[in-house]
Every structure is written in C-alpha cells, then in structure tokens.
Amino acid sequence: MKTVSTSSRVPVALGDRSYEIVVQSGVLSQIGNVLQGAGCSGRVGIVTNPVVNQLYGRMVHRALRQAGFSPFFIIVPDGEQAKTVKWLSKILDALVTQRVERQDCLLALGGGVTGDVAGFAASTYLRGIPFVQVPTTLVAQVDSSVGGKTGVNHPHGKNLIGAFYQPQIVIVDPHVLATLPSRQWIAGLAEVIKYGMITDKPFFEYLEQHVEGLRNQSDEVLLHVLRRCCELKAEVVAGDERESGRRRILNYGHTIGHALESWGHYKKWIHGEAVGLGMVQEASIAENLGICSSAVVERQNDLIKRVGLPSGMPKKIKFLELWQAMQHDKKVVKGDIHCVLPTCIGEVAVVPLVRESIRKWFSVQQRSSSKLMNLVSKPLSSSRLVRKK
C-alpha cells in the first residue's frame, strides 16, 4: 500500500519576505509550536468570526497558551461585511487597547474574508507587525492566504483598498475543511481546477481522475490537492509578487466571474461559483477567437460540471449590464479588457478585448450559435501574450 505523508512545507521564495506554507493534517492542535518555530513570540491577536471561533477558537487559543503565547480574540462578523474600513478600524482599536507591540503578532483564523481584513490591519498597525494566516476554507487554503494580497472593500468596489503584505507563515490544516458547508467546498474547487487550466496539465488530469475523491474529500486526494495548489501559487507569486506580469494568469475566470458576482449583487453566487462560470465563458471566448480548441473547452467544462459547480450563464443578463460590470475590473487598461484566456490545458494567454468584440461574442453566446471571428481589439502579437514559461 502507498504511504501518504501527512505533512509538508512549501517555501514561498520572496527574498527577505520569504515564508513557508505548512500543510499538515491536525496541525491546528500544535499551532503554538509551529509559531515558535517561525520565530513568533509574545501576544497573539486571533482575528476570527463567530462561526469559526465556535468550531476552532478554543483549540487554537489553548495550543498557543501551552506554547507560552498570550492570545486574545478579536471577533469580526461572518461574511463579506467584515471586509470594510469599519471593521479594519475595529481591529486596530483592539490592537491599541491591548497594547500590542511590534514583536507581537496578528493571526487570521478563518476564510478569505478574515484573512484579507486581518492582513491589512497587520500591515498598517505600527507600520507592520508579524502576520500569520490560518486559512479554514478551501478558497483560503489554496488561494487567498498565499501571496500577500490584503485589503477591504469600498462601497464602489471590491478590494479597492489594500496592501501587499506577506505573512510570516501560512498554516494549512486539511481537517478543518470537514466542517465546511458543501456549497463552500464545491466553490473552492473552481479555484483548484483553475490551477490545472492555467499552468499544470498533469494536475488537471489528476483532478479528472479523482472526481469521486474530490466530491467526498478523501484524505489522500485532499492533501495532494492542497499541496499542489500551494506549490503552484507559491511559484507564480515568487516570480511576480506585485502582479506586473505572470501573476495575472491567476485571474483566469475572474474577469467575467467578478462581473457576474457584481451583477448578482454578491448574493446570487459565492466567489468560487462565479469563477467557475467565468472560466466557462472565458473559454468560450477563446474558442471563438480560434486560440483554443472545442475539445479543450469541453474537457474543462466537463470537469467543472462533474464536481458540481454551476456552469450556465444566466439568461436574464443583458450585454450592457455585463459590460458595465466588467469595467470595474482592475485589469482594464485604457478601455481594453485584458482577459486571461486558455490556449490548451495548462496554458493561457493574456488577450486584450474591446467592447465590440465582447458584444459580438455575447450575442453569439446568447443565440448559442457557432464561431465568431475578429474578437481581438488588435492583432495578437507574441509580445502581447503572456504565456507559461
């Protein structure tokens, strides 16, 4: 029988901001020792929400105390409402009240929401104190906890206020995913499939072969998936910390995904579901452009459906609504939308698209008819494409 290692450390190489991602089953109960090993000491502000606190707060608090830390809780609300300037300010108030000093640290225990707001607070308090990510959702474990993007929302847009601020260590315990609602689990699988599509064909094939294990969260499949996604994210981030080049490939599925989230007022779909829908639509654009075969598109869409993600574009959406929602995307450059499109499994290109091309694609899409030509704003030259390696 094959033995599976239940622990691994993935390095994120960023010079003097380098750190490790610890992926280990059951590591939460030993978190104090792991933090000591990472050079943390003193007071630890645990930022968490009532749901996660109820499940794991006590265990983390106890493990920190046993290792000689002085932990205290900072509770933020459940859901996106915690990612606001108001709650950032409340976290800072707590740090001031507790007289937290430069050598102390802030720990985010929760999903992407908690990690984003806590990380931003850590980056600004005393011009930056050590920050620890303990992600508890699939989205947070494979994506948001690694790479240093932190921030809060503005009433006019998501993630408009923030900073790049790398954690001291990321601690991933697969066991905590057992309590995740199944909708959240499945949504996270969209980001997992994304890694296969953008950069790793063998990983995509692994996912195709292990749909059953993904659906029932088999330990072995889960560990492999978490490790591989963390390795891939670490590798992409290490090469382009501030997203001026290759890191943009991580936005595959997000141009249309973010637009759909905004169109649905962040209620119709949760983030990963919208990303899955975005990948289906962006692959369809790539096919219409002639840069991706229908076989590749079908293969991707098949996997998206098999894991249980939604895949149909809402019938009610109008072109103008979609276009306007896409304008808020941070990847809009001088009016063109720079969209990450697949060229084959494991490879993508960044392609500038103008309004007219998207409108044409949209009407074809709505009529479910065949190919569209001339979608690209300008002729594609290799210098405008960002390709793997």
Ligand X SMILES: NC(=O)c1ccc[n+]([C@@H]2O[C@H](COP(=O)([O-])OP(=O)(O)OC[C@H]3O[C@@H](n4cnc5c(N)ncnc54)[C@H](O)[C@@H]3O)[C@@H](O)[C@H]2O)c1
Contact residues for ligand X (CB under 6 A)? 49, 51-52, 55, 78-80, 83, 110-114, 116, 136-137, 139-140, 143-144, 147, 149, 159, 176, 179-180, 184, 271
Annotation says 374 is catalytic = no
Q: Which amino acid is at 40?
A: C
Annotation says 191 is catalytic = yes
Residue whose entry in the numeric block shows the structure tokens 């006590």:
58
Helix (H) or strand (E) segment spanning residue 191 = helix 182-199
Annotation says 247 is catalytic = yes
Annotation says 127 is catalytic = yes
Helix (H) or strand (E) segment spanning residue 289 = helix 271-289
> Which of 43, 61, 248, 271 is labelled catalytic?
271
CB of 70 to ligand X, least distance (A): 25
Q: Give the strand pairing for 169-172 and 19-24.
A: parallel
Annotation says 271 is catalytic = yes
> Which of 247, 248, 331, 338 is labelled catalytic?
247
- Closest by CA position to 210, among listed 187, 198, 196, 22: 196
- The conformational region for residue 265 under phi > 0 = left, psi -120 to 50 = alpha, else beta, is left
> Which of 43, 194, 227, 233 is labelled catalytic?
233
Is there a contact between 195 and 203 (Cβ–Cβ < 8 Å)? yes
Q: Which is nearer to ligand X, 185 or 204 (CB)?
A: 185
CB of 357 to ligand X, least distance (A): 28
Is there a contact between 84 and 152 (Cβ–Cβ < 8 Å)? yes
The whole-angstrom separation of Cα 348 and Cα 350 is 7
> Which of 149, 228, 299, 338 is labelled catalytic?
149
CB of 217 to ligand X, least distance (A): 12
Q: Which is nearer to ligand X, 274 or 291 (CB)?
A: 274
Is there a contact between 23 and 84 (Cβ–Cβ < 8 Å)? no
Q: Which is nearer to ligand X, 185 or 361 (CB)?
A: 185
> Which of 127, 315, 334, 389 is labelled catalytic?
127
Annotation says 338 is catalytic = no
Residues of the chain by 3-state class (helix, strand, coil), percent to 5: 50, 20, 30
CB of 268 to ligand X, least distance (A): 15
Annotation says 149 is catalytic = yes
Q: Is 216 helix (H, G, I), strand (E, B) or coil?
A: coil
Q: Which is nearer to ligand X, 149 or 248 (CB)?
A: 149
CB of 189 to ligand X, least distance (A): 12
Residue 143 DSSP symbol: I
Annotation says 235 is catalytic = no
Q: Which is nearer to ligand X, 270 or 303 (CB)?
A: 270
**What residues are annotated to the active site?**
127, 149, 191, 233, 243, 247, 251, 254, 258, 271
